[in-house]
Structure 1
Amino acid sequence: MDTAFLYLETPRTPMHIGSIAIYDPSTAPNSFVRFKDILTHIEERLHLAKSFRRKLANVPLSLDYPYWIDDPDFDLEYHVRHIALPQPGDWRQLCIQAARLHSRPMDLTKPLWEFTVIEGLNNVPGVPKGSYAIVSKIHHAAIDGVSGVDIMNAVHSLDNTGAISAPDRAWVPERTPTSVELLARAQINTLATPVRLARMAGDVAPGLLKSAMGLIRGNFRTSIGRVPRTRFNGSVTQNRVIDGRDFSLNEIKDIRLRWQGATVNDVVVAIVGGAMRKYLKGKSELPSESMVAMAPISVRAKDERGALGNQVAAMTIPIGTNIADPFGRLQYVHEEAENSKALTNAAGARQMTEYARLMPSTLSGLAARLYVRLGMANRIAPMFNTVITNIPGPPVPLYMNGARLVTQFGMGPVFEGMGIIHPVFSYCGRISVAFTSDRAIMPDPENYANCLQESFEELKAAAMKKPVAAPKVEPVPVAVVPESSAPAKRKAKSHKKKPKLTIVSAAE
């Protein structure tokens, strides 16, 4: 998975993720934060996340996937930059500047992250005057959404003092492996492939059986229908646009209560579906079939937090762009999401992430490059129309250098065949739905941002007309108790014939 993001990278399709995080310095101890303070703050926390000081080491001739090694020449000031917006310092200027930064590829010979401090936010609605933003860029090969939260935790604290323990010892980079050592590792990895294949076959077999039984019983279906081709499913340029809207998390939770079993994610997907419907209908390009979103699923175990790389699977969800009624769209999205979850759970989400590792690195790299260079996005049917990725955040305020994090909007990669992504962040009672797209595909990002707002308002209005749904009742478990487990003392024998098993309901 990590190398897929590397191989898909071209000058037109940088494969990093990131965010726009806005801070209020009035909460800092001296009511202001200098750029020098930010540098010191990050430097004191470099030991808390491995991604900060690790870079890629490519195996000669691409005989194996790249390895992560320490960067002996790590330079913090290369990775943390400083600029300011011109007056008036409004939201649109910030989005344009963030899009310019996000469109530039990163230097793949250095640790794959950058922070740009942007001052001069004096005219952003809902943001205190004098606030500043940090636009982050972290290559998707280094992190997924969950390990990205680990980096967020490294630079933030729960109070404005930000006290932290120093590392046990000074950082000393590991010795850089030679080309011969990298080739030796590649050979060992190749020899171990049959063992991994056998182990994976054993892990996958139960999931395949479970999937087959689920299909036979009608628990789920495997087809989501035809994925329509839209303006978002062709080639992309090197230019990006970024925008978004944020909503009350309590209001979204209230909406989900109006349909039995619905989740916050279902509501967000329905909002995005309504926005994409509005946007394409306004351009007379709305397809008759429902558009489809890909939703990443984290399969990262607790003991893998802080580790580099990606541990994600994916499921596809039709988003109801063919349904005009906002509440009907939510019902449809919920049903489709339940089907996708059942199929993914049956197959085994974590096992799905292991399949890609069996393909030789040279072959996977060649396939990814040919897909881009031959313009296959315009030749084959799209697998999905957008990506909606949900990154959970804390319900309490976070601080960096004593400055309170006011809000955060996500940024993601777009690539050939997938020209729009929706990162969703939750934080402190709010939920932001942002988007990154190609400027040639979406020349009017403010228009689409307004579509998101209107879609939310219409869904809320429709949902408030519905009563709160009854909670979903799970089937009562039934215990089967053998007769031999009955008490030793019995009443006088009855002349009636007794069954061999006694069925006892858990509700009794």
Structure 2
Amino acid sequence: MRQLSAVDAQFLNFETDTNVANIAGLSILEGELTRDELVKLVEERCALVPQLRQRILQVPFNLDHPYWVQDEAVDLDYHVRELALPHPGTDRQLAAQVARLHSRRLDRRHPLWEMYLIHGLHGGRTALYVKLHHATIDGMGGADVLAAFMDLEPRPRREAPAPPPEPDLGPETAEMLVRTAARLAANPAHLLRFLVEAVPRLDEIPLVNQLPGAVPVARAMRSVTRYLYGGDEVPELPKLPVPRTPFNGPISAHRRFAYTELPLAEVKRIKNAFGVTVNDVVMTLAATAVRRWLIDQEALPEEPLVAGVPFSLREVEDDGPGNQVTLMITPLATQVDDPRERLQAVHKAMRRIKDRFGLAPARWLRNLSESMPAALTGLADRAAFGLAAQTSPAVNLIVSNIPGPQIPLYIGGRRLLAQYPVSVVTDASGGLNITAFSYNGDIAVGVVADRTMVPDVWHITEYLQDALEELSSLAG
């Protein structure tokens, strides 16, 4: 039995019919994989992924964060499903099907995951779409979940049969209420810790950093803290007004999804030519693609777009469950016309937030969440999302780059050809998300968008390819 952290619970709290907190992976496999083979694989490996056996247990009246409890019997007939694409089974047909699946909320009466085996993809390939609720994992954790079903060679490794799980029905109501009282007593300590850590960092908290006086107060508190306790001076962050774009505002319940691959070797060649990082190149490609799309819509702001960039809080060898991630904000240099200058502007901005994060990892969100009574957190989360959608968004979009294995992998004896991330869009973070995942010599990019805001999402992937060609030519 494990209680959800405040950050994990936030992903449950903000979820509505339109703000759906699913994260997923789309695996493209060589050849055909049957459902019987997949079910056998899941049965063998399920014990390696505790999240697949756990469901939510709510505290009475939502007075505290829920608990994860062991599901008595995981119903694989429910969780593992299959379907087929109509002929001819194109990539766009697959992406449209994934978009429909991704927009559906997971049933909280069951463990929060679903797996879809998708047949009929042209070229004799099979697709496997696996989605989990963001309350269970972050991006790095999602990669670990998928890795449990993968092998280093075509012959699947055999796992010893998992022993029956220990019965875990969760705490009794009286015990939950006692624990809730203890948490309420601890809230002032969490709040004090938040104030100590977060006030010097008001300039990096989305929405808060736009309030009058936030930046000077943060700067002054950092000076006081450094005078009293010493330490390095952290880099200043520029004030980042978030311009309005066609993909900011209240999102709908419908999604679009598109994907593409970029050769990692070419990205590294560009990185070496300009003295930047792989992540800088990926961020610049995203900036260029979004800039081109906004120009098409005659909606390119004069100010740079503001991107939310997830940063992992996991320590080395830390493979614990739940979300251990924070969101840093950075200008995306979409207003810069010259691609070479755009790359250097992105490099400078990313280096600034990395230097700052390295000196003082941003754990303020966790402490803020722990400082609030759980009964109020859900209302606060939904209110914040609604306010961001109606007034000023926290960021324009999310851009993420997750490193992955550079060796071929196999699922159920079939070679994994590509692994595309499928992420989240919300009212607060914008109706566009560009997430990259590197695997075996390629960078697989998944683009998720609100259907009404970005109906032509495949143009984004085309512009990513154009942006790569543009930088390649400049690299010589």
TM-score of the superposed pair, with normalisation by structure 1: 0.83
Name the CA distance, whole Å, in 1 between partners of 2:382 and 2:196. Answer: 32
Amino acid at match of 1:165: E
Amino acid at match of 1:164: R
Alignment counterpart, residue 455 of structure 1, candidates 419, 443, 467: 467
Query: Is 1:189 aligned with 2:200?
Result: no
Please name the residue that 2:383 is paired with. 370
Amino acid at match of 1:369: R
Which consecutive unaligned segments of at least 5 residues does structure 1 have?
Answer: 26-31, 123-128, 465-508
Name the CA distance, whole Å, in 2 between partners of 1:205 and 1:14. Answer: 31
Structure number with larger C-alpha Rg: 1
1:371-391 CA distance string (max 9 Å, x none): 45xx42343222211111222
Shift of residue 168, structure 1, vs aligned partner: 6.1
Name the CA distance, whole Å, in 2 between partners of 1:247 and 1:377. Answer: 33
Please name the residue that 2:406 is paired with. 395
Name the CA distance, whole Å, in 2 between partners of 1:205 and 1:422. Answer: 31
| Aligned alpha-carbon RMSD (Å) | 2.5
* Contact 2:310 2:326 (C-alpha < 8 Å) held by counterparts: yes
Name the CA distance, whole Å, in 2 between partners of 1:73 and 1:219. Answer: 51
Please name the residue that 2:328 is paired with. 315
Alignment counterpart, residue 26 of structure 2, candidates 17, 20, 23: 20
Shift of residue 409, structure 1, vs aligned partner: 1.2
Distance 1:426 1:195, change over 3 A: same
Amino acid at match of 2:137: I
1:217-252 CA distance string (max 9 Å, x none): 986223243221111111111110000221111110
Which consecutive unaligned segments of at least 5 residues does structure 2 have?
Answer: 1-6, 202-220
SS at match of 2:247: helix
Name the CA distance, whole Å, in 2 between partners of 1:251 and 1:104. Answer: 37
Report 1:104-119 matches (<5 A): 104-119=104-119
Distance 1:3 1:168, change over 3 A: closer
Please name the residue that 2:149 is paired with. 155
Report 1:16-95 matches (<5 A): 16-25=22-31, 32-95=32-95
Runs of 4+ in 1 over 6 A off after TM superposition: 198-208
Query: Is 1:423 aligned with 2:423?
Result: no
Distance 1:181 1:73, change over 3 A: farther
Query: Is 1:172 aligned with 2:185?
Result: no
Shift of residue 436, structure 1, vs aligned partner: 0.3
SS at match of 2:126: strand
Name the CA distance, whole Å, in 1 between partners of 2:25 and 2:169. Answer: 33
* Contact 2:331 2:346 (C-alpha < 8 Å) held by counterparts: yes
SS at match of 1:258: helix
Shift of residue 180, structure 1, vs aligned partner: 2.2
Name the CA distance, whole Å, in 1 between partners of 2:366 and 2:475. Answer: 37
Name the CA distance, whole Å, in 2 between partners of 1:395 and 1:316. Answer: 28
Please name the residue that 1:225 is paired with. 240
* Contact 1:204 1:348 (C-alpha < 8 Å) held by counterparts: no
Alignment counterpart, residue 354 of structure 1, candidates 367, 374, 383: 367
Distance 1:168 1:17, change over 3 A: closer
State, as a whole percentage, how many aligned pairs show the same letter. 36
* Contact 1:233 1:377 (C-alpha < 8 Å) held by counterparts: no
Amino acid at match of 1:241: R
Amino acid at match of 1:405: L
Shift of residue 212, structure 1, vs aligned partner: 6.3
**Count of residues paired in the alignment:** 448
SS at match of 1:36: helix
Query: Is 1:133 aligned with 2:127?
Result: yes
* Contact 2:191 2:367 (C-alpha < 8 Å) held by counterparts: no
Alignment counterpart, residue 280 of structure 2, candidates 240, 258, 266: 266
Distance 1:35 1:378, change over 3 A: closer
1:154-206 CA distance string (max 9 Å, x none): 11111111213315633233233332222222122223444555667787799
Amino acid at match of 2:13: Y
Query: Is 1:234 aligned with 2:234?
Result: no
TM-score of the superposed pair, with normalisation by structure 2: 0.88
Shift of residue 9, structure 1, vs aligned partner: 0.6
